[in-house]
Structure 1
Amino acid sequence: MPDAKGLRDLHLLLSSPGTEIPATRLLNPAGGEEAVAAATLSGDEVLDVQARSAYRRRLSELDEQIDDATAAGNDTKAARLDVEREALLTELRAAAGLGNRHRRLGDEAERARKAVTARIRDTLRKLDDRHPELAAHLRESVSTGTTCCYRPITATSWRL
């Protein structure tokens, strides 16, 4: 396969099985510890406590209004309110990370997580055509996120 960033990410992960490697290090391997430490500093939350409370209050109001509109047989109004409700839920989901952690603006670690995950996923898709068994093994054994790790689930002998 031609050289690709995702292949380099996998190479680093496979060379240190069981070791959690920050996505920020995979994104910038030459940056060293300073780059990893700097990337852990982040900006303000996407939605602060006050904004999250306002969203929840509005969702509660919308739920009541949707129930009232449905009970009154006003399906058009209920549908319009439901569109607003779904838009608010989409915003809340976008502001929440894995485990319902609050995402932050300008979060380098989040950017690294997304970029590295996409690079590895893309490489595995390309590997599907050339060596589907290896691609399947890597999908089972490589975890991505703010830290990435190769933990082989089964011992396999590969014919490359």
Structure 2
Amino acid sequence: MFAGRAVHVPDAKGLRDLHTLLGSPGTDMPAVRLLDPEGGELVVAARRMGGDDVLDEEAKARYRHHLTLLDEEIDRATELGDDRRAAELDGERAALLEELRRAAGLGGRSRRLGDEAERARKTVTARIRDVLRKLDRAHPELAAHLRATVSTGSTCRYQPDTPITWRL
């Protein structure tokens, strides 16, 4: 019950995530634990380790070198008036830059292959957002409260301004 009103909503994984967070206010909860609550500490630790970079430093250096060569070839083709060749090289350069963008994560950091923690972050965040959208219709006050007090990410947390006693 919240704001003097109770609602019943169908069971959902996002509701279970919120149940866990509401039961431990002020506690950081790894998204990997919410994704697999029965997994135990070993599974949580293993999933938090992450995967290998999509591009290692050697691959990045080779891409940079190839981009430099492409820029030089584009300049040379332009100087010679070979617009067709310059356009071909420019297309290759654009495709290479797109591949580099796909391999880069937020803020240019390396994206990682097989990163369980990243998958858990995305999954748990999506599950909670889905429940909040449903609560917008069923109980808008509760949805607003949860949006203001629940943070999601690789670590999730329920942090109300004042203590609330929930009947969980």
TM-score w.r.t. structure 1 length? 0.72
Q: What residue number does 2:18 align with?
A: 10
* Aligned counterpart for 2:43 among listed residues 35, 50, 56: 35
* Unaligned ranges ≥5, structure 2: 1-8
Q: Percent of aligned positions with the same letter in both sequences? A: 65
- Structure number with greater Rg is 2
Q: Which has the higher helix share?
A: 1
CA distance in 2, matches of 1:88, 1:66: 14
Deviation string for 1:57-105 (max 9, x for gaps)? 5566777889999xx9x7xx77x947953x5555444434445442321
TM-score, normalization by structure 2? 0.70
Aligned to 2:3: none
Matching residue of 1:24? 32
Structure 1: gaps (5+ residues): none
Greater relative contact order, per chain length (Cα 8 Å cut-off, separation 6+): 2
Describe the SS at the equivalent of 2:143: helix
CA distance in 2, matches of 1:14, 1:81: 54
Give the number of aligned pairs.
155
Q: Tell me: CA distance 1:105–1:67, structure 2 relative to 1, closer, same or farther (3 Å).
A: same
Q: How does 1:76-155 map to 2 (within 5 A)?
A: 81=90, 85=94, 88=96, 90-98=98-106, 100-152=108-160, 154-155=161-162
Q: Deviations over 1:26-73 (max 9, x none)?
A: 00001111110121233321111123334445566777889999xx9x
**Is it true that 1:45 corresponds to 2:49 in the alignment?**
no
Distance 1:136 1:83 in 2: 48
State the 1:6 CA deviation: 0.1
Q: Is the 8 A contact 1:65 1:81 kept in 2?
A: no
